[in-house]
Homo-oligomer: A and B are copies of this chain.
Amino acid sequence: MEIPLTQIAERVGGEVIGDEHTVITGIAPLTTATPSDLSFFIDKRYRKALQGCRAGALLTSGPMNEFEGPQVVVADPQLAYAKVAGLFAPPVRRYPGVSDQAFVHPESRMGGDVSIHPGVHIEAGAYIGEGCTLFPGVFIGERVKIGKRTLIYPNVTILRDCVVGNDVIIHPGTVIGSDGFGFVRDGEKSVKIPQNGQVLIEDEVEIGANNCIDRATLGRTWIKRGTKTDNLVQIAHNVIIGENTIIVAQVGISGSCTIGRGVIIGGQVGISDHMDVGDGAMIGSQSGIAKSIPAGEAVSGSPAISHRQWLKVSALTARLPQLQDRIKALERKIQVLESDGAKE
């Protein structure tokens, strides 16, 4: 794909300094870019790399003297990068129409321009919105509703009655609508609590690979607009997650938690059941959350404390042997002082 620099500048609302007729065919980091690539200067630590850079043009927040070629100046070069890079990616493979090697229940319905690959399975009462792409091995259960332009990668399972919005991306191997983990003890035995609810995933959500999002016991497990999850995330029954929240890989959120909007949850965090995490809270990697977290707080540790306190605590924990030595020294000195006192 050949794209003139002017077109790139338009897409990102940037200003071209230098030859605006330069034609770009790819995007690459400073160190590996060739003369037909656009490169980008986002992280100031890489300033030295500008000098030897062979890129055909540079995306930057201000004109850089070290770079001799044309530059596209924007307010936020990382955001501009995000908007431009997609131009040079191959388009997502779409099967033309509905494959006759897919299983499509006659009582299901579809919007226009869907791409249903071979090996997809769509059950009775399901609805697949206009412009959706379903890859091989995708299972869509009874009465599932999928919005418009949603992209579902291979081997994803979406079980009965779940609802997925518009412009959602679901990466391979993810399971949506498995039973919540609910049992009652009857003597030694565990009696299953039927999980009758659903999962609701709103527009513009992106779900990573091999996630598990359980259906609610009653009502819904609910992931609101614009939230993104990384891979191998566990979201239990009746969890509610607010808008534009970020959940890093291998996080586990237990049943009936309410997570706010704009929250950032680091990798491998575990959250106990029935917790509230307020809007804009930040949870450090590997934290364990057993108390609710007010809006805007940053916490870390297991059990989690304020992030600032945790920095002190973990530094001190590593020095516990020295603290013990200081206690020992004090004990010796006290003994000396006491025996001195006794002598008098």
Contacts and interface: CB of A to CB of B under 8 A. Distances in A.
Interface of A: 27-29, 32, 76, 78-79, 81-83, 85-86, 88-90, 93, 101, 103, 117-119, 121, 123-124, 135-137, 139, 141-142, 153-155, 157, 159-161, 169, 171-175, 178-179, 181-186, 188-196, 206, 208-210, 212, 214, 217-219, 226, 228, 230-232, 234, 236, 243-244, 246, 248-250, 252, 254, 261-262, 267-268, 270, 272, 285-286, 288, 290, 301-303, 305, 309, 312-314, 316-318, 320-321, 323-324, 326-327, 330-331, 333-334, 337-338, 340-341
A272 B186 CA distance: 31
Contact of A317 (B157, B286, B290, B313): B313
A249 B231 contact: no
Contacts of A174: 173
A156 B88 CA distance: 27
- Count of chain copies: 3
A341 B338 contact: no
A285 B270 CA distance: 8
A103 B295 CA distance: 51
A152 B16 CA distance: 49
B184 A178 contact: no
A284 to B, nearest CB: 9
A166 B171 CA distance: 26
Nearest to A29: B218
Given A193-B82, A254-B267, A178 B208 contact: yes
With most chain B CB atoms within 10 A of its CB, the pick from A153, A244, A285 is A285
A210 B207 CA distance: 15
A252 B268 contact: yes
Given A173-B210, A175-B173, A210-B175, A190 B160 contact: no
B330 A82 contact: no
Contact of A318 (B154, B172, B252, B313): B313
B327 A316 contact: no
Contacts of A160: 90, 93
Contacts of A244: 188-190
Contacts of A90: 142, 160-161
A331 B332 CA distance: 12
A243 B337 contact: no
B208 A210 contact: no
Given A136-B139, A184-B79, A234 B232 contact: yes
B231 A178 contact: yes
Given A103-B101, A153-B157, A178-B172, A184 B121 contact: no
Contacts of A188: 226, 243-244, 261-262
With most chain B CB atoms within 10 A of its CB, the pick from A86, A153, A301, A323 is A153
B214 A231 contact: yes
Given A79-B185, A82-B182, A210-B210, 9 more contacts: A103-B136, A169-B179, A171-B175, A173-B210, A181-B230, A212-B231, A214-B231, A268-B268, A340-B341
Nearest to A193: B82
Contact of A196 (B89, B226, B261): B89
22 contacts: A78-B184, A81-B184, A85-B194, A88-B194, A93-B142, A155-B157, A155-B173, A178-B231, A181-B231, A181-B249, A192-B206, A209-B214, A210-B212, A234-B249, A249-B254, A250-B250, A285-B288, A313-B317, A316-B320, A316-B321, A326-B327, A333-B334
